[in-house]
Amino acid sequence: MEEEKKSLVNEVASAGYDAGEKPFDFISTNSETALVCESDPAIKEKVTKILINMGYHVTEPASGREALKSMRFHAYDLVLVNENFAITEDAQSSNEVLTYLQNLAAAARRNIFVALLADNYRTMDNMMAFNKSVNLVINKKNIDDFATIIKRALDDNKAFYGIFKETLKKLGRV
């Protein structure tokens, strides 16, 4: 009999508890966290510096497996993921991090701002963002304007969801 292939998400979810996979146990409740899933060291360094300057505690996973382990016990406030992160050329694999985020329950997903770093989509293309189930699309050609783009998009997201989240709090659902 053939064994069914486990997806990376299922493999990580079925793993035992490891306290080392909880990188932010020491952060106060008001601190914001970001996960940067990018393979290009130059881009990773640039966006990480900007996010740290914005007050985020940043995690930089080296692989899809590491990113999923990080998300297993921590709901990040912001996730920046390259569309090709952890995709192998020899296999027909998909971006497991993006797939995981797309399949999150709406209540959990709406508390995470997801930015997709892409080669072939326009920056701030709302229809493509909707299609990919992310909040923001950033074209790599616009990476030099990352600080301006991410600040604007985060402000827009806060304004869009602000009243909704406030109402949920008043109703005791958060």
Residue type, 5: K
Residue type, 156: D
User: Looking at residues 69-78, what average pLDDT do you find?
Assistant: 91
CB distance 137 to 128 below 8 Å: yes
pLDDT of residue 4: 38
Q: Within 10 Å of residue 117's Cβ, how many Cβ atoms?
A: 27
DSSP assignment of 46-95 equals: HHHHHHHHTTEEEE--SSHHHHHHHHHH---SEEEEETTTT--TTTT---
Pick the CATH number of 26-170 from 3.40.50.2300, 1.10.10.10, 3.40.640.10, 3.40.50.11060: 3.40.50.2300
Find the range with the poorest average confidence among 45-54, 107-116, 147-156. Answer: 107-116
Q: What separation in angstroms does the CA of 142 have from each of 29, 36, 39, 41, 155?
A: 32, 17, 17, 16, 19
Residue type, 43: I
Task: State the pTM of this model.
Answer: 0.81
H or E segment to which residue 36 belongs: strand 32-37
User: Looking at residues 34-45, what average pLDDT do you find?
Assistant: 96
User: Looking at residues 136-153, what average pLDDT do you find?
Assistant: 97
The number of angstroms, rounded, from the C-alpha of 44 to the middle of its chain's C-alpha atoms is 14
Percent of the residues in the chain that have a pLDDT greater than 70, as a whole number = 80
Q: Give per-residue burial for 152-174: e unless 16+ CB within 10 Å, then b.
A: ebbeeeeeeeeeeeeeeeeeeee
pLDDT of residue 31: 82
Structural domain boundaries in the chain: 26-170
Please measure the distance between the N-terminal and C-terminal CA atoms of the chain and give it in whole angstroms: 46
139 SS3 class: strand
DSSP 8-state assignment for residue 145: G
CB distance 48 to 145 below 8 Å: no
Find the range with the poorest average confidence among 42-51, 69-78, 135-144. Answer: 69-78
**CA–CA separation, 82 and 95 (whole Å):** 9
